[in-house]
Amino acid sequence: MYADIIIDITHEKLDKVFQYSIPSRLEGMLEVGTEVVVPFGRGNKETHGYVIAFSEKTDYDPAKIKEITGKAEESMAIEGKLVALAAWMKEHYGGTMIQALKTVLPVKKKEKIRQKRTVHLLLDEEAGKRQLDIYLHKNQKARARLLAGLLDQPVQEYELLTKKLNVTGTVIRTLEEQKILTVEYEDMLRNPVDYQKKTGKQIVYTEEQERAIRTFVQDYQAGKRKTYLLYGITGSGKTEVYMEMIEQIVKMGKQAIVLIPEIALTYQTVMRFYGRFGDRVSILNSRLSPGERFDQLERIRRGKVDVMIGPRSALFTPFSDLGLIVIDEEQESAYKSEQVPRYHARETAVARATMEGASVVLGSATPSVDAYFKAKQGEYTLLELTRRAKGQNLASVYTVDMREELKKGNRSIISDRLKELIEDRLQKHQQIMLFLNRRGYAGFVSCRSCGYVVKCPHCDVSLSAHRGGKLVCHYCGYETKQMNRCPECGSGYIGGFKAGTQQIEELIKRMFPQAGVLRMDLDTTKSKDGHEKILAAFANHEADILIGTQMIVKGHDFPEVTLVGVLAADLSLYSNDYQSAERTFQLLTQAAGRAGRGSAGGEVVIQTYSPEHYSIQRAAAQDYDGFYEEEINYRSLMGYPPVHQLLAVWMSGSEEEHLKKAAGYLKEFTERLNRQKKLAIIGPTAPFIEKVNDRYRQLIYIKSEEYKFLIEAKDLMEQYIEMNSGFRSLRIQFDFNPMST
Ligand code: ADP
Ligand code: ZN
Ligand code: ZN
């Protein structure tokens, strides 16, 4: 028997299977996914690797095949099913197999399991008293003390007992040898949330919830495994629906994974799952220690967990009989990994579910264009919740045209309308959130007088201001000079948008000196609990106004907030990528969802220089379907995902000239591949951030109608890169259907 092994060294040249023979002492001890130690390379250096398959025969000379040295005892094995998933990820997203294997392995090293020891008295009362007399008679005081204590209370915790009675471990061992007592050991696997009370289901489902649950359960019982898109407005009761679906599959002896964006993985959410499933719930997040993470995997291995909640990486929870994967807020960009392999949790979840016979439920109040497209195509099954479960109303939304403000002579970043409403709310002692939309902000240039934004004539995305007064298209490399007069209206108010949250905080404090103001952005949340502290202070009404970036619009419930102001809604709209309208729509919709969560109702003011843009108009009207129709037309027209497929090839190197030349060669190579014109190749071009850590960057985009053509192109490019030494000093990464954050 031979084992196919992937060596634990990340290098394109070593990205292949190496065969080793299995010595008889290891027979039956290795499985797919086991980490082993093998001699490797010319010097036969001890190197680690993972078994990914076994074979009876080999194509090499059996006499020359080396032998596996042994098992890596300290390591966790990768579940066989996840090895298959890793292979799928490598195939779909590029990178090496070892990178893919490490991605699906949640904990690499074994940790020590803590143990609880208890001491049990083995004698009955009569025999115990007789023995006690013997000890007293022989003046064996420590033994007598211990036995007397146990006669009082025959089962006691070891540590407490030794302390309370002042006896040593030696004394306990002596009595154990004399068969007077026994010590029992029990593994203490920590549960990261210290809460076990089960409250069960406490609500009556709405008709819409019933229908969604019924569809899922009937399909499931009929053996149909599908991907569902649960499209339900905020507060429509999606979480309750997930929990019921999970309960149903748990009853069938299966397990569920629930993915939640890390930022929304709050105590409140987790508590709802604990209330329903008790301590058969586990969480994985970045705050757990290695020991706590290991304990969770051990609990899973011992069948003590039915539901795992966590961010993207929890997708790789090694359940033995996975029945359902839920992805809440599926539109979040956090589900796309920025490390090789650059996988998307949504696609990867569907792949895993298909391999293991599970279903997938994607939930969202504003589905990603990608998921909604697939639902319309029939690839996903659509389930809808159109009403709020508790019947609250949605907030009223107004847009303010900031160009008009400038005409009236108001040059401030706060419109008159918003100012009046803030004053009103302060008087009523209600709370206000001001949201500065800086997401995806990439230095676009616009006119504050007429709203004109400088865009690429070829790609219909905004140009980014680069060093030296250049405006550059991030997709095709088109360049033009920065202008100082607006080409549309001739005004001089053309330039980049400069205000940050700190300037806004200062301005607000000057305008409303009586108000208490909190600010939440990367700066103020650097400390460990910075985030929670600010949110808790605001929730306690320690401040009237909360100013922040997109961090403040995600999922937090503040019933006393009755006004939300969105400053410069356009900032994300003119970021330089094809998803900017989608992201803007989502942020505005989420921001609107923050107002009026309580009984008082709420208002939202969206300040914009482009009130005519469809993503702003549709967000103001809270019209998702209308937005989707316009957006999908744009994607289709311009050849962007999800209608077409897009592959970004990122290249970086420390020498600019060399990098540019290599990028040119790689592009020429792809053009030669493209005789049948299945690909559209764009670039190479410098991305918005041209240099990171002293490495220059170049990008090539490839568009195609079908994903499989992009995979073919990627495979051939990988071969070409490996064969040509000119690429050796460069870092090259593939990014399928990239998402910017
Ligand atoms: P979503 O996940 O769609 O935002 P949730 O499941 O969090 O919605 O529900 C919002 C609120 O409504 C929660 O407090 C939840 O307990 C409550 N809720 C959900 N469904 C019902 C129902 N059928 N009856 C009463 N309350 C409900
Ligand atoms: Zn203008
Ligand atoms: Zn362009």
CA–CA distances in Å: residue 167 to residues 110, 159, 260, 267 = 33, 10, 50, 42
User: What percentage of the chain carries pLDDT values higher than 90?
Assistant: 60
- Does 741 score more than 70 pLDDT? no
Distance 402 CA to ligand 2 centre (A): 13
Q: Which two tokens stand for residue 524?
A: 């103020």
Mean pLDDT of 165-177: 93
Alpha-helical (H) ranges within 199-312 are 207-221, 238-251, 267-277, 290-301
Q: Is the CB of 203 under 6 A from ligand 1?
A: yes
- Does 178 score more than 90 pLDDT? yes
Atom of ligand 1 nearest to the CA of 385: 3
- Does 592 score more than 60 pLDDT? yes
- Does 442 score more than 60 pLDDT? no
- Does 418 score more than 50 pLDDT? yes
Greater confidence (470 vs 374) lies with 374
Q: Is the CB of 241 under 6 A from ligand 1?
A: no
Please list, in sequence order, all residues whose beta carbon lies within 8 angstroms of the beta carbon of residue 486, skipping any fewer than 6 positions away.
447, 449, 450, 452, 492, 493, 494
* Rounded Cα gap, residues 481 and 472, in angstroms: 9
- Does 275 score more than 80 pLDDT? yes
- Does 376 score more than 90 pLDDT? yes
What is the reported pLDDT for 285?
Answer: 83
What is the reported pLDDT for 628?
Answer: 97
Distance 457 CA to ligand 2 centre (A): 17
Closest by Cα among 105, 30, 101, 100 to 68: 30
What is the reported pLDDT for 597?
Answer: 65
What is the reported pLDDT for 708?
Answer: 92
What is the reported pLDDT for 499?
Answer: 62
Closest by Cα among 511, 515, 533 to 524: 533
- Give the pTM: 0.85
Q: Is the CB of 704 under 6 A from ligand 1?
A: no
User: What percentage of the chain carries pLDDT values higher than 70?
Assistant: 95
Q: Is the CB of 234 under 6 A from ligand 1?
A: yes
Pocket test for ligand 1, best of 207, 240, 266 (most atoms within 8 A of CB): 240
Atom of ligand 1 nearest to the CA of 236: 3
What is the reported pLDDT for 208?
Answer: 96
- Does 695 score more than 60 pLDDT? yes
Mean pLDDT of the chain: 89
Residues with CB under 5 A from ligand 3 (ion): 456, 458-459, 473, 475-476, 478
Q: Is the CB of 237 under 6 A from ligand 1?
A: yes
Ligand nearest to the CA of 480: 3
ipTM score of complex: 0.95
- Does 738 score more than 60 pLDDT? yes
User: Over the stretch 298-307, which tens digit does the pLDDT of each residue have?
Assistant: 999 999 999 9
* Rounded Cα gap, residues 526 and 469, in angstroms: 33
Chain centroid to Cα 33, Å, comes to 25
User: Over the stretch 486-528, which tens digit does the pLDDT of each residue have?
Assistant: 988 998 888 776 667 787 898 899 999 999 999 987 777 777 6
Q: Please tell me whether residue 658 adopts helix, strand or coil conformation.
A: helix
CA pseudo-torsion sign 238, 243, 248, 250: positive
What is the reported pLDDT for 705?
Answer: 92
Q: Which two tokens stand for residue 507?
A: 């301005």
Distance 325 CA to ligand 1 centre (A): 20
Pocket test for ligand 1, best of 390, 394, 589 (most atoms within 8 A of CB): 390
Distance 473 CA to ligand 3 centre (A): 5
* 672 burial type by CB count under 10 A (0-12 exposed, 13-18 middle, 19+ buried): exposed
158: left (phi > 0), else alpha (psi -120 to 50), else beta? alpha
Confidence of residue 633 (pLDDT cuts 50, 70, 90): very high
* 513 burial type by CB count under 10 A (0-12 exposed, 13-18 middle, 19+ buried): exposed
Confidence of residue 440 (pLDDT cuts 50, 70, 90): very low
Q: Please tell me whether residue 229 adopts helix, strand or coil conformation.
A: strand
